[in-house]
Structure 1
């Protein structure tokens, strides 16, 4: 027999656990949350967006989850966050590009693919990818390829494996070939 706590006070289960009024429980073991109010969802997402960058699509998915699949409310909340500049796809894409290129060593091909998967528009992606300096990207690729070559020393398929490695990191074929040439000259 499902029971729900009264909205005026917290409930207490047989285990002594005090549940806040925003929660309902169907049995001793299954706790189910109720959908949030729109203003509570907006407040939670504002706090979330203040701490980290999110793209519009990610915020919409979170709002949809919090609002228990109410698409209209999720769209209103997302639109409000965009208007208040809590969410900005260009700012998100720029931060994403800097992180993935500088810290993780991804190339522009992989970054573009991942941003498209997140629902960021191509024009925004192109503008954000313009922040990558080709010289720094080439140096990063050279360091990654040299480290990989060191770990594969003596492998008969070294060139093929390095080529695959560079391509899997999101760099273009020409860039990887050039890096292989520089590594070969330095060795």
Structure 2
């Protein structure tokens, strides 16, 4: 399969479009650049341009990622953190952006997910229903301590 060859400017524009379509992290942009087999100097120049023109903004990416994964997919902090680390985002940046999730919303969402899952697992003994529900919520990335707080309320 032969690759169409693009000029430097065309590649730069393709990467601008890639970043405009949705917020990206550095690792995603670097991965995308591999398709164009650029020399290191060209990669660096494009990265610098994307950052200077604010097409690529790691903090904005992390904030929108956290909002999306919590408010739309209902992931807990642990799962969000793990997925961001896979994208080579620093723990420090992740921590500083977790304020995108309102504490009350976090608790309410967890409570609702607990109740929904718990009510679906009928026909089991009480402790089995609790155990199954706790496992499910841990799988969704919620912290065990917070799950226990929901249980107590």
Secondary structure (helix, strand or coil) at the match of 1:114 reads helix
2:96 matches 1:96: no
How many residues align? The count is 151
Q: CA deviation at 1:41?
A: 1.1
How far, CA to CA, are the matches of 1:137 and 1:169 in structure 2?
13
Any conservation in 2 of the 1:63–1:78 contact (CA below 8 Å)?
no
Q: CA deviation at 1:36?
A: 3.0
Q: Map 1:48-59; keep pairs closer than 5 Å.
A: 48-59=18-29
Q: CA deviation at 1:139?
A: 0.3
Q: Which residue does 2:89 correspond to in 1?
A: 120
Q: Which residue does 1:74 correspond to in 2?
A: 43
2:117 matches 1:164: no
Greater C-alpha Rg = 1
List structure 1 segments (4+ residues) > 4 angstroms apart after TM superposition.
none
Task: Please list every run of 5 or more consecutive structure 1 residues that lacks an aligned counterpart in the other structure.
Answer: 1-30, 183-187
2:30 matches 1:60: yes
Aligned-residue CA RMSD in angstroms?
1.6
Secondary structure (helix, strand or coil) at the match of 2:2 reads strand
How far, CA to CA, are the matches of 1:136 and 1:83 in structure 2?
35
Q: CA deviation at 1:53?
A: 0.6
Secondary structure (helix, strand or coil) at the match of 1:32 reads coil
Q: Which residue does 2:10 correspond to in 1?
A: 40
How far, CA to CA, are the matches of 1:151 and 1:135 in structure 2?
24
Q: CA deviation at 1:130?
A: 1.8
Q: CA deviation at 1:76?
A: 2.5
Any conservation in 2 of the 1:94–1:131 contact (CA below 8 Å)?
yes
TM-score by length of 1: 0.75
Q: CA deviation at 1:71?
A: 4.0
Which structure features the higher share of helix residues? 2
Task: Please list every run of 5 or more consecutive structure 2 residues that lacks an aligned counterpart in the other structure.
Answer: none
